[in-house]
Amino acid sequence: MIERFATKGLPVFATRDWHPANHGSFAEFGGRWPSHCVANTSGAEFSPSLRLPADAIVISKGQSPTEAGYSAFESTDFERHLNERGVRRLFVGGLATDYCVLTTVRDALARGFAVVLLVDAVRAIGDGQQAIDEMVALGAAAVHDEDAA
């Protein structure tokens, strides 16, 4: 899908957790997750198998110690970038279905964007189906690879 969008000259956004070392979501600071995606460490890098176009726009989230940073819209310039490019519909994949994907899709729908959830390009930590059901109930279209071809 990334390749398909890049070929058509459509914007590709890559969001990432970009946490301070003392992020509030980390267990040692009272949160529920192990330390992860600390800014400027290898843990915050994109997977080398994720082939992003050179002009992909990177959105870093969760930069404040006190913000969850699940949603790509939370304290980022994501929405401004979308509006500047006239984007009205988002095709969403990523991790994790039941946290960052769900929260981002909720925020996108609440802001009036149409959302297509790429079901084969998401993976959950817990109950992914429940999260997908919620996104669909809120208005997202859930498609599989064969539907998107």
CB atoms within 10 A of CB 55: 9
31 or 128: CB nearest Zn ion: 31
* Contact assessment for residue 122 and residue 100, using Cβ atoms and an 8 Å cutoff: no
Total residues found in the chain within this entry? 149
Nearer to Zn ion, 17 or 74 (CB): 17
Of positions 13, 17, 74, 104, contacts Zn ion by CB under 5 A: 17
Using rule CB under 5 A, residue 98 touches Zn ion = no
Sole window of 59-67, 74-82, 89-97, 105-113 interacting with Zn ion (rule: CB under 5 A): 59-67
Provide the 10 A C-beta neighbour count for residue 19. Answer: 27
Distance CA 88, CA 105 (A): 13
Residue ranges that bind Zn ion, judged by CB under 5 A: 17, 62
